[in-house]
């Protein structure tokens, strides 16, 4: 379904922009949602803000909403739960379906699926709550080497992540990550260039947008540098040679299709400096739409402005079945 600003938007019906929510990424979601809402309204869409933290989702049906633009991030928004509720309400929504969202939100499950399909991702160790003794934690650097990354497996926006340079930092890194998730993901650190690839569409028709190369101060692309700092540089065009860009885009598409994503998504990739081999880090099924966000940036490079992007995603709203 292709809709241009000012043309045929009435066919989209009454639209709820789901934003806010209850995850650790609530504030970022509110920023994303505000941008999407303003863009849709500027195109003539009958769009309204809807915060699931403040209102019951059943009100969507009672108030006659025809479709939802999901601008929620993190748990209870990007993990298949809201998608499942909208399936029951029979209200089409943007982005991937229940299964794809549930798998992509869990970085360990995502890795297992990618590895099963032969797709490259950094080596990892996952420790459950009963496996996080000091003695066990201190064996992880022996398995993965140093430096390494410690993160909660079911959070986004770089929340709870630590780059560990030495054994003495492991306990503090574990304490931070387990504030957000009882499980712990320790991951091999890939030294190289940080890239992200936005994808639009579904299946064989999915389209990889131009890559963005992220250059953060001291290589530290954390929460602050993602959303509130002007020190981080985003290079689009990426500056990679054409063959490398094509290779990373093809890998991103394979990762996206393997999880059976639809609508849109963003795949984060590390390009190892030593041999230029790409490694998949994670897949975001509800990427940010703030002023610092990367999908709108990649879309602009492909000739799609922000309102057009929002309309395109909304027009593709669907149900699993």
Tens digits of per-residue pLDDT, 22-68?
Answer: 988 899 999 999 999 999 999 999 999 999 999 999 999 999 999 99
pLDDT at 1: 52
> For the packed helices 81-89 and 98-105, what is the interaxial angle rounded to 10 degrees?
170
Residue whose entry in the numeric block shows the structure tokens 């030495």? 166
Region for residue 38 given its phi and psi (left: phi exceeds 0; alpha: psi -120 to 50; beta: otherwise): alpha
How far apart (Å, rounded) are the C-alpha atoms in residues 91 and 64? 10
Q: Residue 221: which pLDDT band, with cuts at 50, 70 and 90?
A: very low
In this structure, are strands 212-215 and 233-235 parallel, antiparallel, or unpaired? antiparallel
pLDDT at 229: 56
Q: How far is CA 140 from CA 130, 170, 174, in A?
A: 15, 9, 11
* CATH no., domain 9-94: 3.40.50.20
Task: Give the mean pLDDT of 307-317.
Answer: 97
Q: Residue 8: which pLDDT band, with cuts at 50, 70 and 90?
A: confident
Query: Of the candidates 224, 218, 229, 139, which has an alpha carbon nearest to the alpha carbon of residue 184?
Result: 139
Do 144 and 186 form a contact (C-beta atoms < 8 A)? yes
Establish whether the linkage from the previous residue to 204 is cis, with ω within 30° of 0.
Answer: no
CA-based angle 76:77:81, to the nearest 5? 55
H-only helix segments in 122-163: 134-137, 140-144
Beta bridge partners of 51: none
* CATH no., domain 103-120+190-315: 3.30.470.20
**134-167 confidence digits (pLDDT tens):** 999 999 999 999 999 999 999 876 789 999 999 9
**pLDDT, greater one: 10 or 321:** 10
pTM above 0.85, yes or no: yes
The pLDDT mean for the chain works out to 93
Phi, psi of 320 (to 5 degrees): -60, -40
Size of the chain, expressed as the number of residues it contains: 321
Which H or E run includes 81?
helix 81-89
Query: Which sign, positive or negative, has the C-alpha torsion 111, 117, 120, 123?
Result: positive
Establish whether the linkage from the previous residue to 147 is cis, with ω within 30° of 0.
Answer: yes
CATH T-level fold of 124-188:
Dna Ligase; domain 1 (3.30.1490)
pLDDT at 48: 98
CA-based angle 156:162:167, to the nearest 5? 150
How far apart (Å, rounded) are the C-alpha atoms in residues 50 and 69? 10
How far apart (Å, rounded) are the C-alpha atoms in residues 230 and 233? 8
Beta bridge partners of 163: 149
- As a whole-number percent, the residues of the chain with pLDDT over 70 amount to 94
**Assigned token pair, 261:** 């994503």
Burial class of residue 205 (count of CB atoms within 10 Å of its CB; 0-12, 13-18, 19+): exposed
How far apart (Å, rounded) are the C-alpha atoms in residues 319 and 220? 38
Residues annotated as catalytic are 25, 157, 227, 266, 268, 282, 284, 288
Domain boundaries, the chain: 9-94, 103-120+190-315, 124-188
Query: Which sign, positive or negative, has the C-alpha torsion 90, 51, 46, 39?
Result: negative
Please determine, for residue 79, whether its predicted confidence score (pLDDT) is greater than 50. Answer: yes
């Amino acid at each position: 379904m292709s809709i241009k600003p000012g043309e045929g938007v009435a066919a989209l019906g009454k639209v709820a922009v789901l934003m806010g929510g209850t995850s650790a990424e609530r504030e970022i979601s509110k920023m994303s949602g505000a941008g999407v809402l303003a863009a849709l309204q500027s195109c003539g869409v009958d769009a309204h803000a809807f915060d699931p933290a403040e209102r019951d989702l059943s009100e969507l049906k009672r108030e006659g909403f025809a479709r939802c633009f999901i601008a929620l991030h993190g748990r209870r928004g990007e993990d298949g739960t809201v998608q499942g509720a909208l399936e029951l309400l029979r209200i089409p929504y943007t982005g991937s379906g229940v299964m794809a969202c549930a798998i992509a939100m869990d970085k360990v499950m995502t890795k297992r699926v990618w590895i099963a399909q032969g797709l490259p991702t950094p080596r990892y160790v996952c420790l459950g709550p009963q496996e996080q003794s000091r003695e066990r934690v201190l064996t992880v650097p022996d398995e993965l080497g140093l430096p390494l990354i410690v993160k909660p497996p079911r959070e986004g926006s770089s929340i709870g992540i630590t780059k560990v340079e030495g054994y003495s930092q492991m306990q503090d890194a574990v304490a931070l990550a387990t504030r957000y998730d009882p499980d712990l993901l320790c991951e091999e650190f890939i030294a190289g260039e940080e890239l992200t690839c936005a994808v639009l569409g579904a299946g064989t028709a999915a389209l990889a947008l131009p890559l963005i190369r992220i250059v953060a101060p001291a290589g530290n692309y954390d929460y602050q540098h993602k959303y509130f700092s002007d020190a981080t540089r985003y290079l689009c065009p990426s500056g990679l040679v054409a063959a490398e860009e094509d290779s990373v885009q093809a890998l991103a598409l394979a990762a996206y299709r393997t999880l059976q994503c639809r609508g849109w998504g963003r795949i984060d990739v590390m390009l190892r400096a030593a041999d230029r081999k790409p490694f998949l880090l994670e897949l975001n099924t509800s990427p940010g739409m703030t002023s610092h966000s990367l999908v709108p940036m990649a879309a602009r490079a492909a000739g799609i402005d922000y309102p057009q992007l929002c309309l395109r995603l909304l027009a593709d709203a669907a149900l699993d079945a």
